[in-house]
Structure 1
Amino acid sequence: MVAVDGHAGSGKSTFAGQLARALDDAPVLHLDDIASHDELFEWTGRLLTQVIEPLTRGETAHYTPYDWRARRFGPPLPVPPAPVVVVEGVGAGRRALRPHLAQLLWMELPHEESWARGRSRDGEEQREFWRGWVRAERKHFADDPSRPFADLLIRQCGKGYEVTNGPAGTVGPDQPFT
């Protein structure tokens, strides 16, 4: 599993899609489908049981994607086992997931710029949601930062991306394998 983490609005989904295409159309799991209004960041158990554990056994995983407009979970969708599965979303590099990751990529864009892009993308309809989101994201990264563990930092450029080494240079106590 390769995780693409960063602030909301930093370009994770776009980058993950391009990365997946470059990796022979690897499956992409969007954490927006795992999170919900009631569990912005409390979805780790569901991700582990619905996706990571079955994939670890070489089985097709099935997760129930969340519909943010209807505010309910939908019918299960499959994630087939593959040589690489890309997981993208805020919190993809959290402590509980790092032992399952081959690589952690961090979208290197300041949080204020990321959030401005996200607000612009989501429009007035989601204005109130963003107020709560910013508080929740700040708390999440204060309690469980991902960037210090990133293998690579990804910066979006005018055309393409700049990739540099991240702060994680070595395997640590919460990452027994890569």
Structure 2
Amino acid sequence: MLDLVQSRSVTLGAGRLVCLDGPAGSGKTTLAGALRDLSPGSGLVHLDELLDGWGGLVGVDRRLDPLLLPLSRGEAGRYERYDWIAGRFVEWVPVPPTPLLILEGVGSGSLRHAALCTALIWVEVDVDLRLRRGMARDGEAMRAHWERWMRDERAHFVDHDTRARADMVV
């Protein structure tokens, strides 16, 4: 995967952008950590921090503008971090230009910023395994939120044709 990314031209200012997208619970966060470990000095942003709660998938691509657009000009970007416990956005997080930025999470491969993406990696597993992982992490009390989220992400992926545009499927 890293070979694919490094074989391509820069797309994010002087750096490259890898978008790890796919359904919740499919292993994107784990893969992002492994990729960051293989590329010292890379940056990592989790889209969970940009979502406006469980209903925040709609419009998340616009929330990426303050992060990606300045980086595309070689300037520091930033994003507003959502606190899931407080239920609100709590702070702006600066992100300096880096040779490789890994953007991980549902919606990272949206069409709005496709021209800035060096490589779009689609990550998927069986839907039952995803839900089991979600319940293990978040608790059974969150099942209704997860089920709604799964419907929302399916619609998002259809609207953005995400899987079909992926450079690699894991």
The interval holding the TM-score normalised by the smaller chain is 0.7 to 0.9
Q: Which runs of 5+ in 1 are unaligned?
A: 155-178
The CA RMSD over aligned residues, in Å, is: 1.5
Q: Which runs of 5+ in 2 are unaligned?
A: 1-16
1:108 equivalent to 2:95? Answer no
Q: Which amino acid aligns with 2:138?
A: D
Equivalenced residue count is 153
Q: Which amino acid aligns with 1:45?
A: R
**Counterpart pick for 2:60 among 37, 40, 43:** 43
Counterpart-to-counterpart distance in 2, 1:112 and 1:153:
19
Partner of 2:4: none
Q: State the identity %.
A: 40
Counterpart-to-counterpart distance in 2, 1:14 and 1:103:
17
Higher helix share: 2
Moved more, 51-60 or 120-129: 120-129
8 A contact 1:41–1:91 mirrored in 2: no
TM-score by length of structure 1 reads 0.79
**Counterpart pick for 1:60 among 67, 76, 81:** 76
Counterpart-to-counterpart distance in 1, 2:130 and 2:41:
26
8 A contact 1:7–1:115 mirrored in 2: no
Partner of 2:143: 127
Greater RCO, CA 8 A, separation 6+: 2
Structure 1 pair 41–110 and aligned structure 2 pair: CA distance change class (3 A) = farther
